[in-house]
Structure 1
Amino acid sequence: MRRQIPSLTALRAFEAAARLSSFRAAAEELSITQSAVSHQIAGLEERLGTALFHRTARRVELTEAGALYYPFLRDAFDRISQGTDLVLRVATTDDLMVQVYVTVAARWLIPRLHHFQAVNPDILVRFNTSHFYWHFDPSTADLGMVCTDDTGDPSYHFTFLAPARLEVVCSPALAKKGLKRPADLADHALLQLFNKEEDWEVWRAAAGIPHLKGRSHLNGRAVPKFDSYLLALAAAIDGQGVALAPHFLVAEDLKSGRLVRPFNISAKQPGGWYLVCRKERAQEPRIQRFTAWMQEQIAQDPDFI
């Protein structure tokens, strides 16, 4: 069936005027005259057989038909812009922007990155890091490494990497101060992320204990909360409390003895670790090569499995 698509010039004029509520502002944005904008929109209204704007002396307002039409054009132009940016990026750059949690970047990914660069010297990997729990943002990154239980969005392609597991850790000195069973945590500070407070509840359920509440104050001071596992683990190494973190992020600290596991209890988090990108980008060579390398690294890392 033949598509019913009016003049692209007229559609651009209408979208700009609707977004800016002004023919004059639309003309300035499009670098044409206000008369040209008015002419294009009048032609579009004639083609559609209905008015799209109520015109007043100072501004224009969308009619019912215009308000119905505008969201479709706004989304269409947004998609065209995103597609153009993607093609320009693929054609003109040789880098790969990876969105990743700051703790994962610092403690696991960066120490291994030289292996990827050695076999892929033509790809420059850049990191877009965050302290917070966030969703993948395709407008700022090509690929993201996320921990999630929500993989149902059909516009994204998810590649499973590994299950997610939490470990309780503390300094060796703190472990000797009466940490023999989970109930003993009530006498200690529980170091937690203010954006991941559910972590301790997940671990409590796995440990099979009815209640879990650590000290809110220690030595007369309130127990701090953190915005990343990186900071919570630094506080745990310093003996300031008991931390909870993804298992592969504490592996080196456990091997070195900076941290210990006071209890042999791990908690499986909902979901798992994934690489995610826009669905239409999943077959890009850069993304495929980085994905294959990540899968290989994880398969060879006994601390991640």
Structure 2
Amino acid sequence: MSRRGAVEAPCIAPPRPRPDNPRMSETPSYRAGHVAVIGRPNVGKSTLINALVGAKVSIVSPRPQTTRHRLLGIATFPDGQLVLVDTPGIHRDFGKASATAMHRFMNRAARGALEGVDAALLVVQAGRWDDADALAYDTLAKAGLPVVLVVNQVDRVKDKAALLPYLAEVAQGREFAAVHPVSALKRKGLEALVKDVLALLPEQEALYPEDEITDRSQRFLAAELVREQLMRQLGDELPYATTVEIERFEQEGRLARIGAVIWVERDGQKAIVIGKGGERLREIGSKARVQMERLFGCKVFLETWVRVREGWSDDEAALRAFGYTE
């Protein structure tokens, strides 16, 4: 998708702010490459990618495993281009026979993020380092990639002096190309991060046109924005039993008409998503529509339906039909 819009709805999205990145004399040559963004679930990987790209290309919610697909966020600066690979979080249960088809798909997507990349960002939560973080680091180290440690959410740390011993402990026995405390949400510390990551990339021309922000279409992004609201508004388990399929995406002048189907696995789940008198479904649709208009830069008429397909999350054919492909 470009800032001029995709085939389905050629709306002109307004420019988004990005980190300031004046031309750097230390790296006069243009650099570009793929950068995997890795970390345990819910450390702010998608928020970081959106901040660097300057547009919402990856959905965000407080729930782990919000990201299901591998997608590219394309951030272009005067000195280079970062092609950021957003993936599901890394887990220890790779390859478990008991995992559902959905879990196996997400694990493959996470592993595939390391194929053909030039560097990696290991995103962790400030003040916290656990076995899942260590697993993510070990995965990157085995791949032989230069790793930049991104310590996110530093705005939540009241005692900034406590970060120094934390950083020293994390770095002990591990090799990082650079370490950057940042706040992706508040866009703090990103300029220095961009500079150091660009320095790790090969000298070459941009891999994508300057106005491209993702490799995904508006149809895909529309489905994700509806799913984001499901993740935000439903209970602990139900969001993981839902997926979204876009049945219609039509352009009428400056209006995009979008029809979205929310798939669940049981009739009882359908009733919960719809809510009393359809109230919850209307709220999901209303908030998703606002996000679509903000991203696509045009008016959106969004219709939503809820349908049941039993066991879709453990059905390889159903996953392919719903767009979960490698």
What TM-score, normalized by structure 2, do the two folds share?
A: 0.24
Flag the structure with larger Rg.
1
What TM-score, normalized by structure 1, do the two folds share?
A: 0.25
Q: Which has the higher helix share?
A: 1
